[in-house]
Amino acid sequence: MMNKFKRVFLIVLDSFGIGEAPDSELFGDKGCSTIKSVSQSDFFNIANLKNLGYTQIDGLSFLGEGILNSQVARLQELSKGKDTTIGHWEIAGVVSQKPLPTFPQGFPEKFIEDFQKAIGTKVLCNKTYSGTEVLKEYGEEHLKTGYPIVYTSADSVFQIAAHESIIPPERLYEICRIAREMLVGDLGIGRVIARPFEGEYPFKRTSRRHDFSLIPPKSTLLDELKGDGLDVIGVGKIHDIFAGKGLTEFTFTQNNADGMKKTEEYLLRKFNGLCFVNLVDFDMVYGHRRDTDGYARAVAEFDKWLGGFVKKMKNDDALIITADHGCDPDFKGTDHTREYVPFILYYNEIEPKNLGTIQGFSHIADTVRTLLKG
């Protein structure tokens, strides 16, 4: 490995897990595999990932032969969770020994009472729901009453949905900030999520989602790089996941296509440091909605884009492709799944190597540190 690179592009394919982790049974996920489910679709195509060495990763030989033109590995999560926040924290070097709290029966009545007083209005629901189903069940009542819809999921989240004509996004964000300040200690969930929607029944969620995350419990790789005077750029929901900490610049995205476009724009710009990218559609639009064909199409679209991106990389650029957890679209429920994630490291003149199975997503933080700092 060269002593120092000017730029590292770290791309997280949100939820694109590669098979059940050894402890998957503890999470109720025995037998899950996002990659195996998605690969069964007629729309699945990973020609460029194969050319980098994706199919050489442990456990992926069933996808067929490929060419090893990178360094690859299968990473096992050490943190006690399978959510976006904990997964990204571990990627950035922070292992969480305690899972973030979840509230499958809804949030405590006392908290809801205090929250309603703080925002000056009642709320609807306070149950576990799919994001699309909750709009079907409570959307009309929300339009009549003006009360925001509060719900959760199997993840550590407090979600607030509101029609943009009733509660404008900026007001919804303000309500979410109030919730974020209140949800601490034993109620310290990973994310408060603003879920604006529009239109008529059954309604449609808009792209103006915004996440308000718990601040990481320790300094991360991002803080370290920023402290060393390097650029740390967040694309997509990276800013939200890390509560803005450690970033020198960030841009939000509307979808995967927008995320890939903005990542390529950074490729054509001058900077010295890390460009940290999250492509969320795999998880939010396809995994949770159990849309296997849609997931496969999204993978194929990323793969097609990847071929052009790699060709435009400079000699002092490095690329890392990974994921933060699984979300098997053919598995029971709509929850994330406890899975291994891929690690692909590519740069010009790299010595190809299969590194096997590695304990800890933090291998990525160590790799970025070595690439940028030697």
CATH number assigned to the domain comprising residue 72: 3.40.720.10
pLDDT number for residue 319: 98
> Which of 185, 213, 241 lies at the terminal end of a domain, its last residue?
213
The rounded radius of gyration (Å) of the Cα atoms in the chain is: 20
Residue type, 206: T
Question: Same domain for 208 and 221?
Answer: no
pLDDT number for residue 132: 86
Question: Same domain for 167 and 303?
Answer: no
Question: Same domain for 368 and 239?
Answer: yes
What is the domain range of residue 223?
7-97+216-373
Flag whether 1 is in a domain. Answer: no
Flag whether 186 is in a domain. Answer: yes
pLDDT number for residue 1: 46
Question: Same domain for 197 and 234?
Answer: no
Question: Same domain for 125 and 40?
Answer: no
CB 357 within 8 Å of CB 73: yes
Flag whether 140 is in a domain. Answer: yes
Dist. CA 371–CA 368, nearest whole Å:
5
Tens-level pLDDT at each residue, the chain (374 residues) = 445 799 999 999 999 999 999 999 999 999 999 999 999 999 999 999 999 999 999 999 999 988 999 999 999 999 999 999 999 999 999 999 988 999 999 999 999 999 999 999 999 999 999 888 999 999 999 999 999 999 998 889 999 999 999 999 999 999 999 999 999 999 999 999 999 999 999 999 998 999 998 999 999 999 999 999 999 999 999 999 999 999 999 999 999 999 999 999 999 999 999 999 999 999 999 999 999 999 999 999 999 999 999 999 999 999 999 999 999 999 987 789 999 999 999 999 999 999 999 999 999 999 999 999 98
Question: Same domain for 363 and 271?
Answer: yes
Question: Is residue 152 within a helix (H) or strand (E), and if so which, with residue range?
Answer: strand 149-152
Flag whether 125 is in a domain. Answer: yes
CB 91 within 8 Å of CB 137: no
pLDDT number for residue 3: 52
pLDDT number for residue 374: 83
> Which of 213, 241, 276 lies at the terminal end of a domain, its last residue?
213
Dist. CA 18–CA 359, nearest whole Å:
15
Give bridge partners of residue 231 from the DSSP assignment.
273
> Which of 191, 213, 235 lies at the terminal end of a domain, its last residue?
213
Residue type, 86: I
pLDDT number for residue 262: 98
pLDDT number for residue 2: 47
Dist. CA 272–CA 259, nearest whole Å:
20
